[in-house]
Amino acid sequence: MLDLTLAEIAEALQGELVLTDAAVAAGFSPDTIVNGTVDTDSRLIGVGDVFVAKRGEFDDGHRFVEPAVASGAVLVVVEHPFDVAVAQVVVPDSVLALGFFATEVVRRVRALGELKIVGITGSNGKTTTKNLLRAILERQGETVAPRDSFNNEVGAPLTMLKLTASSRYLVAEMGASGKGEITRLIRMAKPDIGVVLKVGLAHAGEFGGIETTLATKTEMVQDLEPGDVAVLNLDDTRVAGMAEKTAARVVWFGLSDAAAVRATDVDVTARGTSFVLHLPDGSSRPVRFAVLGQHHVMNALAAAAAAFELGVGIDDIVEALETVVRAERWRMEVMGGADGVTVINDAYNASPDSMAAALQTVAIIAAPGQRTTAVLGEMSELGPYATEEHDRIGRLVVRYNIHRLVVVGEGARAIHLAAEHEGSWGGEAVFVETADEAFDLIAADTLPGELILVKSSNSAGLRFLGDRIAQANSTTEVLP
User: Is 124 annotated among the ligand-binding residues?
Assistant: yes
- pLDDT exceeds 60 at position 352: yes
Output Rg (C-alpha) for the chain, integer angstroms: 24
Location of each CATH 3.40.1190.10 domain in the chain: 112-321
Residues 6+ apart with CB under 8 A from 169: 115, 116, 117, 118, 137, 138, 140, 141, 142, 143, 144, 310
Rounded to whole angstroms, the Cα distance separating 312 from 117 reads: 15
Closest CA to 479 of 328, 337, 293: 337
CATH 3.90.190.20 region(s) of the chain?
333-478
pLDDT tens, position by position, 224-262: 999 999 999 999 999 999 999 999 999 999 999 999 999
Phi-psi region of 40 (alpha: psi -120 to 50; beta: other; left: phi over 0): alpha
162 is in an annotated binding site: no
Q: Architecture of 112-321 per CATH?
A: 3-Layer(aba) Sandwich (3.40)
Q: Is residue 128 marked as binding?
A: yes
b/e sequence 120-146, b meaning 16+ C-beta within 10 Å: bbbbbbbbbbbbbbbbbbbebebbbbb
Ordered DSSP codes for 253-312: EESSTT-SEEEEEEEEETTEEEEEEE-TTS-EEEEEE-S-STHHHHHHHHHHHHHHHTT-
Q: Which CATH number fits domain 333-478: 3.40.50.10880, 3.90.190.20, 3.20.20.10, 3.40.50.720?
A: 3.90.190.20
Task: Report whether 35 belongs to an annotated binding site.
Answer: no
- Give the rounded distance of the alpha carbon of 422 from its chain centre: 34
Beta-bridge mates of residue 50: 38, 75
pLDDT of residue 208: 58
Q: Are 253 and 228 in contact (CB under 8 A)?
A: no
Residue 452 has pLDDT above 90, yes or no: yes
CATH architecture of the domain 4-94 equals 3-Layer(aba) Sandwich (3.40)
Alpha helices (H) along 428-478: 435-444, 462-473
Q: Is 434 annotated as a binding residue?
A: no
Tens-digit pLDDT profile for residues 91-121: 999 999 999 999 999 999 999 989 999 999 9
CATH 3.40.1390.10 domain position(s) in the chain: 4-94
Judge whether 61 is annotated as a binding position.
no
Q: What is the pTM of this model?
A: 0.85
- The pair phi, psi for residue 302, each rounded to 5°, is -60, -45
Please indicate if the annotation marks 401 as binding a ligand: no
